[in-house]
Chains A and B, each alone.
Chain A
């Protein structure tokens, strides 16, 4: 069985940053592997270690810079990687549909039995790429997976899904499938230093639009970024002070004011 793991390099900003046009100043950005994808990589590598997966391939959409990030997936045990980028993609915002078109082409080439994807990306947080991809390629899917067992012979994945209100859903998903992975599915490992050294020699295949049989129009975004601003935040937190009795009294007062127990 072949596992395809989608990974994304996400930009992180510190406390202080400057907004330039519709973006954040490059000097204020640090790049890292998307947290949710880290769990997806770990899940893929564990499937390989359990001899359920024969090959784990990581795929990313990003410029050359992102090779360093995707190499971390290789250091943790992915066998090889595919990096999709094209000069045509640098101009405009790439929306979910565009990403799905790119990934669809990679799926057509790789023919995976299982696609693992983080629930969401820490930067734009659409939380849509995984399930939209499943829809496009006609795979089964399960979202927000926090427990996973794959019975490759039976062609099913048994998953737990984290629903709102603390409810867990147990579902059987027929393969091939796309699963979007929630944090807590596993404990992502540190890459071993030997893994990092070996990763330098693993293949990262760079693909442009033409390699995937796509045109710039086909991945053009329906969304346009029009503005970037820092929303004003309001905070009216009250710190309750005093000894336990006083604090409890004041807390009760506040709760009553807010209508609790009325």
Chain B
């Protein structure tokens, strides 16, 4: 059992960290304030081959593993949760399903532009009336045999990257009354498919540089070769996708925690009250030690899930555990960071409030903490 990262992974992490500190950290608050998706940053990520880290080289990706992808995602989260979220959604939810379930033709047409970073990926599962219970989905895809087309109708909610996406993987019901077995996945092109409309871009508590959207699908006609996998496979695809996706949310959470921890540690070492740095007081020292403890724990669970994934195992338990623990830790660590900085921590001139706002979403997206408990309970045979 080797706890040291391979040299290649370490080099990649260090390079990405340097890039994030130099190029993203200085604008992280600004893009939040402006609610602006920083396309120029994603162009740079593309130039550095970051947009397709765990996608095979055959389709323009880096050919790296899940561990490498987790390291990159953590570094993004350490400076900007919003950029990290759009990145993780692009890779785990927008790109990986095409690689895992698509035909060679689909990969060439839809995966390649995502892996090379020409376009952004997205996926659409949640609906206004269907969140944790996806079997209650209202979006439909009816097959028009004469035209050889599917006709999509419905509303999708909280869709990351929808305004900037090259493709959206839309889940829709192809067989009503079949429950989970009646769901299928379709590749929708927001720009060229008529009837696709982003109806809302939400203002959120945090992560505002990452667009979160409501989508309206109004008689969207798409050719049948846009069906991903077979009809009725949508839900099993979703489960497999989320096994990987949760690792990236765990990694992103670890990054948020790390960023918050470092901000608090640095501040506490410099801020003097009662004649000494506040880090010398037990109350603050203990807080910072606990922040470090939780961050390191998140990282270990995340790396364990990633390594198991890379070994070809199903990682439902590991990824749920990592996501549950890392997201809660991130929120706790970020909250403590705000507290350590006191009044300054509550201002937007300092980063802890940004980490705090961002961390809260980690407990909600890609399965709430409550759902992670359900998943884990099932894994434990409860």
Contact = CB atoms under 8 A, between A and B. Distances in A.
Interface string A158-194: 0000000000000000000000000000000011111
A196 B12 contact: yes
B34 interface: no
B63 A191 contact: no
A102 interface: no
Interface stretch (A17-25, A68-76, A132-140, A245-253): A68-76
Interface residues of B, number: 18
A200 interface: yes
A197 interface: yes
B224 interface: no
Contacts of B12: 193, 196-197
A190 B11 contact: no
A193 B8 CA distance: 9
B178 interface: no
A197 B7 contact: no
A72 B10 CA distance: 11
Give the dominant DSSP class at B's interface. Answer: helix
B90 to A, nearest CB: 15
Given A68-B7, A190-B48, A196 B63 contact: no
B62 interface: yes
A68 B64 CA distance: 19
B72 to A, nearest CB: 8
A28 to B, nearest CB: 16
Contacts of B48: 190, 192-193
Which of A190, A192, A199 gathers most chain B CB within 10 Å?
Answer: A190
Interface string A203-217: 000000000000000
B18 A197 contact: no
B219 interface: no
Which of B8, B18, B63, B72 gathers most chain A CB within 10 Å?
Answer: B8
Given A68-B7, A200-B7, A200-B8, A190 B15 contact: yes
B7 A193 contact: no
Nearest to B53: A193
A191 B15 contact: yes
Interface of A: 68, 71-72, 75, 190-197, 199-200
Given A75-B11, A196-B15, 4 more contacts: A71-B7, A190-B18, A193-B72, A195-B49
The 8 A-B residue pairs with the shortest CB-CB distance, nearest first, are A193-B49, A194-B49, A192-B49, A192-B48, A196-B11, A200-B8, A190-B19, A191-B15
